[in-house]
Amino acid sequence: MRTHRIFIGLVVLCCFCLPHLIATKPFEVVVDQSGHGHFTKIQKAIDSVPNNNLQWFFIKVKPGIYREKIIIPYDKPYIVIVGGGKRVTRVEWDDHYSPEESPTFSTFADYTVVKRITFVNSYNFPSEGKINKNPRKPAVAALIGGDKSAFYSVGFAGIQDTLWDLDGRHYFHKCTIQGAVDFIFGSGQSIYQSCVIQVLGGLLEPGVAGYITAQGRINPYDANGFVFINCLVHGTGTAFLGRPWRGYSRVIFYNTNMTNVVVPEGWNAWNYVGHEYQLTYVEHGCFGSGSNTSRRVKWVKNLSGSVVQSLADLNFINRDRWVQDLPVAV
């Protein structure tokens, strides 16, 4: 009788424990164009994630060029997409009718994590070393709209409006971002750490300078802004570090290597001439042939060291330590 009670107790205990174990075990699927995975398309793998998902769902993508558009809707959080390497795993599409409709990759969900993959909008982007002759238009490679999302060793390739850092807190680590005009834009609250910013200004009309950033902070109380830490800015042609998409635009380059691709003026007021005092554009501790600030526009901000340090710190986006809690190691 005692043995029988012990057995019943173990069964009851397992009945309570099993759902918890199942709920916390991450799911994993494989995308492989050759048919040796669970899916041959990345979007099909995303579609398989339950709505309002509350556990990490891993999608491993085998090397290859995937011709598809990808959308992660707002009700599919906790998705991790891991490619085989940003040079060998590429997603390409060529929409260009509007910035909203054009992204090759879009995520509106919180807790999106991507690693070792490249997203390309090929409408204007050169292919196999050949110059693309399509007329230049906004053609977005990636739109990042959810909160607490991170990208590790990810490539973003386009010419105009490459990376739409739309909204939310985002972390980019060792990413490569290519473009010529406003190719990092939006109202995100984001840190770009150890990233390569490659200007493709040589693809623009002769004598025309490009623009790296177009940040969209709307008022002085908004927390958002772009912070570049320990990055490399290089490429062909020339480019301004940024121009304001909205009236209180905020961009900081910290301890960044700038080549002579950066124009001596550094920044452009665009549609906000006469309101430059509202803009927060900062360079601190930068070096390289393009970092000389002697000919910069006079309205560049000269913030105190303590203020700069508070902005050029992971806590700018990470006060609740969500970056450390992500399941993908740097």
147, 182, 313, 325: which one is catalytic?
182
Which residues sit opposite 214 in a β-bridge?
185
Which residues sit opposite 251 in a β-bridge?
226, 281
182 counts as catalytic: yes
Write the CB contacts of 87 (distance below 8 Å, at least 6 apart in sequence).
Answer: 118, 155
Strands (E), 102-162: 105-107, 112-115, 118-121, 142-144, 149-152, 155-157
Our CA angle for 317, 320, 324, nearest 5°, is 80
> Rounded CA gap, 286 and 257, in Å?
6
SS3 content of the chain, % helix, strand, coil (to 5): 15, 35, 50
Per DSSP, 158 falls in state: -
> Rounded CA gap, 82 and 59, in Å?
6
* Strands lying side by side in the sheet with 64-67: 64-67, 89-93, 118-121, 155-157, 176-179, 196-200, 232-236, 257-258
Q: Do the Cβ atoms of 262 and 232 come closer than 8 Å?
A: no
Q: Tell me which residues are annotated as active site.
A: 182
